[in-house]
A and B are shown apart, each in its own frame.
Chain A
Amino acid sequence: ILNVEQSPQSLHVQEGDSTNFTCSFPSSNFYALHWYRWETAKSPEALFVMTLNGDEKKKGRISATLNTKEGYSYLYIKGSQPEDSATYLCAFLPYNNAGNMLTFGGGTRLMVKP
């Protein structure tokens, strides 16, 4: 069983605050790291798929960085808005994995207060 951990488990911020959270994953046998956004009562939606060490992806106010050598990724949200409230999941994909099976972390639940 692969160990994918996210911290913190939950986070409360005020509207306008910038925030970040962490995903830790095995540093060996790396192939890809996924980030998903999961709003309450909806289904997870893909934010980023990251494959290269040092990679940085951006989508609006959300960005992510990747360090495959030390096994972590950061997700940043600049100027949080109430609509950013959601659970953010990361998922690890090892190399040579038949079927692209992902191992998900437990998620970071973000709540943005207006």
Chain B
Amino acid sequence: NAGVTQTPKFRVLKTGQSMTLLCAQDMNHEYMYWYRQDPGMGLRLIHYSVGEGTTAKGEVPDGYNVSRLKKQNFLLGLESAAPSQTSVYFCASSFRGLVPAPQYFGPGTRLLVL
């Protein structure tokens, strides 16, 4: 099992460009998440999904959109990148059950917006 994978690993964008980050998991998890990690700020939730076809906003959703057309994939889109979106982006997934389950994280995508 690959677990949680993210594509690409690193990207440089110019202000105003758009891009999509792909997250894939092969653990059949219902829940998926997108976080950003900035120095001194810890992990902050951007958007999340509780199942195929459903998404919801997290703590810092502005400037991002997401889609979950297939259970195993969760896409994060930046329509018009801004320097403030320079960050490391982590995707995570977790199982939905009666007992709270841990989240499994991908390797991260480092994004630099110039």
Which of A's residues lie within 8 Å of B, judged by CB?
1, 31-32, 34, 36, 42-46, 49, 51, 89, 93, 98-102, 104-107
Contact = CB atoms under 8 A, between A and B. Distances in A.
A66 to B, nearest CB: 13
Contacts, number: 58
Given A49-B102, A89-B42, A104-B42, A43 B90 contact: yes
Contact of B59 (A1, A36, A89, A100): A1
B104 interface: yes
Nearest to A43: B105
A100 B100 contact: yes
B96 A45 contact: no
Given A43-B108, A89-B42, A102 B103 contact: yes
A101 B45 contact: yes
Contacts of A31: 100
A100 B103 CA distance: 9
Contact of A44 (B48, B49, B101, B105): B105
A26 to B, nearest CB: 15
B50 A98 contact: yes
Nearest to B35: A104
Contacts of A105: 42
B21 to A, nearest CB: 14
Nearest to B54: A99
25 contacts: A32-B100, A34-B100, A36-B102, A43-B105, A44-B43, A45-B105, A49-B100, A51-B99, A89-B42, A93-B100, A98-B50, A98-B56, A99-B31, A99-B50, A99-B56, A100-B96, A100-B100, A101-B45, A102-B103, A104-B43, A104-B44, A105-B42, A106-B40, A106-B41, A107-B42
Interface string B24-59: 000000010100000011111100111000001011
Nearest to A31: B100
B94 interface: yes
Contacts of B31: 99-100
B67 to A, nearest CB: 16
Nearest to B48: A99
Interface centre among A1, A42, A51, A100 (most CB of B within 10 A): A100
